[in-house]
Amino acid sequence: MAEAAVAKTPADPKAEQDLTDGFHLVIDALKLNGINTIYGVPGIPVTDLGRMAQAAGIRVISFRHEQNAGYAAAIAGFLTRKPGVCLTVSAPGFLNGLTALAHATTNCFPMILISGSSEREIVDLQQGDYEEMDQLAIAKPLCKAAYRVLHAQDIGIGFARAIRAAVSGRPGGVYLDLPAKLFGQVMNAEAGRKSLVKVIDAAPAQIPAPDAVKRALDVFKSAKRPLIILGKGAAYAQADDAIRTFVEKSGAPFLPMSMAKGLLPDNHPQCAGAARSTVLKESDVVLLIGARLNWLLSHGKGKTWGEAPRKFIQLDIEPKEMDSNVEIVAPLVGDIGSCVNALLEGMGGKWPKPPADWTGAVTKKREDNVAKMAPRFMSNAVPMDYYGALGVLRNVVKERPDAILVNEGANALDLARGAIDMYRPRKRLDVGTWGVMGIGMGYAIAAAIETGKGVLAVEGDSAFGFSGMEVETICRYQLPVCVVIFNNDGIYRGTDVNPAGSDPATTVFVKGSRYDKMMEAFGGVGVNATTPDELRRAVNEAMDSGKPTLINAVIDPAAGSESGRIGNLNPQSVLKKK
């Protein structure tokens, strides 16, 4: 428990009574539930809360902008299966954090956004309080659950509800509204202690029904060309051994979604990452494990999937996910650990290997594609193209499979995803379901804090700009983060010209920018790398030293393509380009 205030009761000055207050109850509720880190930005009414939490042994990481603190909390939730906590001030701070809360919900990451808020009586009468806003109402549609605590004696229950809502079932973001007045409310310390709730079994196992397991196995066994797709839900579940055993026992090719890379290593003989279009088009039975059939999988239909008839089996904790885009012939609802273990049990001692012409064809396709790419990664072109620079980084990660890779951008994202093989679970953290720019520094900071491992952040120059000020935070906390900026002078390319003259084109930035100097400004290491050799030296040094480092990797401004790999999603004007 945090130290309780000791005060004399006015009614009886001689009697000493142990008192506690809202501040201390909030801190005690967090600690009681094993939440040891808060990401946030201080200010009215939560400045003292941050100070007191720090004094009470909670790690409080102060950011320069709430959105980055929010992204840090979101990814902390993904990495630890405990809700990541973001703490913000009222109205503008709350709104800055809200993007990340919505992002956490969209990506199924457990997170709690705790925000101070203004006086209810004034807010509700709209009398213009300091930072007035009805935050609860605004948060509600953007998260999984939203609660407000008005009385100190309800803090324990409020936190219990928030924690449970964040991690149980399909994980997501929870908003917790704490009005300024709450923090100062005083109550008897013993009663306060008793009001706290230690959440028991916050994410209960959800055991699949035996007939659903049997149905899934029957369909899976009937496959001539089976495929297993692993999504970030599978990575989140931390059922790594069971998943690996299941995939290997099945003998089926597996395709990892971006953040599921490394669940089984990308160089595993069954990995179909480098034969993606073939397995999507030609598989006849697809087993989805913690992956949704959203836009990232072309909604399970259309050109990507081809004409051949196909059956989907889906393993997910969220029953409503079934049939979201196409028919799921064998829904398997439950938590991934329980479901995969039930499948393993149902498979018995022996399981027939998939037909060799299928696995052979997938292996051949993969090997051909890998061989085709190999020379491109050796490119020594100057200015560097994406492949030359990525050839360096893929080796850096291969030599350090425990390092965490954070990745955002367009070309800098899509090409890095393909180029950099992952070898361990939950080592690749990226833009997620929305393809959002701005996760970079928040993710890098939380990854370093939560895991203690070195972090390599591979960033487009535009992507980096969304959270770039947090390099100061990285330096302040001396985190082992190496940021590599793929600096191609702009969004997708640095070559656009405004046909009307005057202003620069909308997608280009200052040419020849030196982002490395930003890191130097705060005492970190800055390097300008113009060749693959310079890049290799600088990244190796940074990863070995663990010193905050930013490497400005100069990339040919003409090397990228519009929107990276998803240019097809851009609407086209029917009018001729002027």
Q: Which of residues 436-455 bind ligand TZD (CB under 6 A)?
A: 436-438
Task: Please select the residue that binds ligand ADP; options are 61, 255, 259, 479, rule is CB under 6 A.
Answer: 259
Binding flags for ligand TZD, 370-409, as an x/- string (CB under 6 A): ---------------------------------------x
Residue 435 as a binder of ligand TZD (CB under 6 A): the answer is: yes
| CA 123 to mean position of chain CA atoms | 34
Please state whether beta strands 330-333 and 285-289 pair in parallel, antiparallel, or not at all (unpaired): unpaired
Task: Please select the residue that binds ligand TZD; options are 118, 278, 488, 513, rule is CB under 6 A.
Answer: 488
Distance CA 294, CA 390 (A): 28
The residues that touch Mg ion, with contacts defined as CB under 5 A, are 460-461, 488
Residue 187: name its binding partner from Mg ion, ligand ADP, ligand TZD, none (Cβ under 5 to 8 Å by kind). none
- CB 116 to ligand ADP: min, Å: 30
- CB 509 to Mg ion: min, Å: 8
The residue nearest ligand ADP at its CB is 233
Dihedral sign for Cα atoms in the order 27, 28, 30, 36: positive
Residue 322 as a binder of ligand ADP (CB under 6 A): the answer is: no
Residue 555 as a binder of ligand ADP (CB under 6 A): the answer is: no
Distance CA 95, CA 86 (A): 12
Distance CA 224, CA 283 (A): 8
Residue 318 as a binder of ligand ADP (CB under 6 A): the answer is: yes
- CB 142 to ligand TZD: min, Å: 15
Query: b/e for 25-35, b at 16 or more Cβ within 10 A?
Result: bbbbbbbbbeb
Place of tokens 């790999």: 565
What 3-state DSSP class applies to 503?
A: coil
What 3-state DSSP class applies to 527?
A: strand
Distance CA 286, CA 75 (A): 28
Residue 154 as a binder of ligand ADP (CB under 6 A): the answer is: no
Query: What is the distance between the terminal CA atoms of the chain, rounded to a whole angstrom?
Result: 68
| Residues touching ligand ADP, count (CB under 6 A) | 24
Angle at Cα 402 formed by Cα 397 and Cα 405, nearest 5°? Answer: 55
Residue 411 as a binder of ligand TZD (CB under 6 A): the answer is: yes
| Residue with Cβ nearer Mg ion (154 or 562) | 562
Q: Which of residues 352-391 bind ligand ADP (CB under 6 A)?
A: none
Contacts of 135 (CB under 8 A, 6+ apart): 90, 91, 94, 115, 117, 175, 177
| Residue with Cβ nearer ligand TZD (301 or 511) | 511
Closest CA to 541 of 520, 555, 527: 527
Residue 316 as a binder of ligand ADP (CB under 6 A): the answer is: yes
Task: Please select the residue that binds ligand ADP; options are 291, 384, 456, 474, rule is CB under 6 A.
Answer: 291
Distance CA 34, CA 160 (A): 12
Task: Please select the residue that binds ligand TZD; options are 492, 515, 524, 554, rule is CB under 6 A.
Answer: 492
Positions that interact with ligand ADP (CB under 6 A): 107-108, 170-171, 231-233, 236-237, 257, 259-260, 290-292, 294, 296, 316-318, 321, 335-336, 433
Positions that interact with ligand TZD (CB under 6 A): 409-412, 435-438, 460-463, 486, 488, 491-492, 560, 564
